[in-house]
Structure 1
Amino acid sequence: MAYLIRNVIDGYHDLMDNKSDPRVNDWFLMSSPFPTLCMCLSYAYIVKVLGPKLMENRKPFDLKYILIFYNLVQVIFSLYLFHESAVAGWLNHYSFKCQPVDYSRNPLAMRMAQGCWWYFISKFAEFFDTFFFVLRKKNDHISTLHVIHHGVMPMSVWFGVKFTPGGHSTFFGFLNTFVHIIMYTYYLVAALGPQYQKYLWWKKYLTTIQMIQFVLVMVHAFQLLFIDCNYPKAFVWLIGLHAVMFYFLFSKFYKKTYVKREKKVKVEKEQNEVKPKSNNIGICFTTQTALYEKTNDVKDMSEGYTSDGNRLRNRVFIDNPRA
């Protein structure tokens, strides 16, 4: 057992020290995966357990101006990351078919590596999306999809920066930062107030864009399983399977939020538009019928009775002045 543990420890140090990219080893949070892992686990505990418990007997915070500032910063940050990934590779000299990692200290290679590290940092900044939900007591927004998406990403991106800060898998970050420009613009407009809700009709399409993103990442990643490319297959599977997982999670959210809701609204609308074939509403007491309808179909009751307190009297006799 001790021998096995020693082999695991030696293998871990060999992986971290000899198989990783030496350019990033001294960068913040890149020497070990454990600080990132601890922050991801802490995030999940805070947003699912500690935060809601602390807010249980408190009023929700009004964070309007903080949210406006935060979302504006996220839009600008996403624009910067998209620009860096485009200039350093994807809209410059990168191949969409096969792009190995350039581990040199070439200025463009270093620019892409630094862009990857900033993208990694951005995943921690996105924790505040959920923290704001907690402070505003929007616990119904803290879904399994939301927590998994935000909690898993920093750890996944850490491995990418540590071993492959550039090349084929950065296509995911290239697309993701573009989607985040759109997403945080939506959140920014939403944070401005109810008077701007009329400009947010495209919320449904935002989820669709996110799903298209994951399909493109899947196709782009898994193509390397069928062609020869000097790129680690482990990261092909890592990125590809992440895209598959997030696609199905977002697809489930889409169906639950939009498809089922639209069907429900359609059914309710159809039910409201259906008119009764008969004018007989089905009310038990004939004197109430006239309150709801005017019709000649209501017939006199031949055997109707009422009470004046002491005795039963024939309803036909009372209601018929000719009697």
Structure 2
Amino acid sequence: MVNFTIFLAHFPYEHLADKRTKHWLLVDSFWNMITLVALYLLLVCYMPKWLKNHKPLELKTILIVYNISMAALNAHIFKEIFVSTWHLKYNYFCEPCKLLYSKYEMKIATAVWWFYFSKLLEFADTIFFILRKKYEQLSFLHIYHHSTMFPLWWIAIKWVPTGSTFFPTLINSFVHVVMYTYYGLSAFGPTIRKYLWWKKYLTLLQLTQFTVGLLWAVQAIVYNCDFPTWINYATMFYMISFLILFGRFYTLKYKRKCSIKHK
């Protein structure tokens, strides 16, 4: 009981938190983060039941604004990370997280915070599915993805907001520019959607991202990168889980459709 009380008051390794970001919005407290994730999971469980007697909403304008805004936010994050790391001559394979307050180091930390915050905004993806009663979209993959990204990036912004953290941020923000641009255009309806033939390649782009992330984490472990080893291992296993889940999704959605067409 005493140990649990201590845990409630002081999250383990709190003393190792990065001094530059530890008091930023939604970074300081573990319980703020976990409460938001718990609320998300509760909404996933109970919103469909609350809305079972209501008609699905269209939300066309909201979806267009939301998706284009998310694409713009990720484009800003990508630009800030790319320009700042270029100025600092960051190593793409291994870059230690140093407690520096220079202009471009703080720009990287700020961009990583926005990326972390964007994972909270992305909970709206699920809420929109529920409001539109697109329940087939509420797969294990979707919920696993959204409910784990927010806490994992909380760890990044709290303990390693600069250094090698920049690489997955850079890659993922680029993919999200493409992804949210697609969803924003798709929200315009059939007149635009018929030209969006490249949805299949969006999933392939995501699979490529996870493969690159996996190889990057492995090389960081093999070459003993001066970056928290446990984070590299966590990244490796997380990328493997995504490769399995997204690979299965790709096979079921596209490969099986293709084989049916050719029968």
| Pair in the same fold by TM > 0.5 | yes
Q: TM-score if structure 2 supplies the norm length?
A: 0.94
Which of 83, 106, 112 aligns to 2:79? It is: 83
Q: Which has the higher contact order (CA 8 A, sep 6+)?
A: 2
SS at 2:162 equivalent: coil
Identity within the alignment, %: 34
- Give the Cα–Cα distance (whole angstroms) in 2 for the partners of residues 214 and 53 of structure 1: 34
User: Mind listing any 5+ residue stretches in structure 1 that lack a counterpart?
Assistant: 268-323
* Paired letter, 2:26: L
What is the match of residue 217 of structure 2? 221
SS at 2:225 equivalent: coil
Q: What pairs up with 1:2-81 in 2 under 5 angstroms?
A: 2=2, 5=3, 9=7, 12-13=10-11, 15-16=13-14, 18-47=15-44, 49-81=45-77
What is the CA-CA distance between 1:222 and the residue it aligns to?
A: 1.5
What is the match of residue 182 of structure 1? 178
User: Mind listing any 5+ residue stretches in structure 2 that lack a counterpart?
Assistant: none
| Cα deviation code 1:152-201 (max 9, x no counterpart) | 10000000111100111321111001001110111011111101122111
| Cα deviation code 1:123-176 (max 9, x no counterpart) | 011111111110001011111100110111000000011110011132111100
- Larger mean CA deviation between 150-159 and 217-226 belongs to 217-226
Q: TM-score if structure 1 supplies the norm length?
A: 0.77
What is the match of residue 108 of structure 1? 104
| Cα deviation code 1:251-279 (max 9, x no counterpart) | 11101111112112222xxxxxxxxxxxx
| Cα deviation code 1:201-241 (max 9, x no counterpart) | 11100000000001101111121211133211011112222
What is the CA-CA distance between 1:97 and the residue it aligns to?
A: 2.1
Q: What pairs up with 1:112-261 in 2 under 5 angstroms?
A: 112-261=108-257
Change (3 A) 1:104 1:38: same
Q: What pairs up with 1:90-105 in 2 under 5 angstroms?
A: 93-105=89-101
| Cα deviation code 1:295-314 (max 9, x no counterpart) | xxxxxxxxxxxxxxxxxxxx
CA RMSD in angstroms, aligned pairs only: 1.9
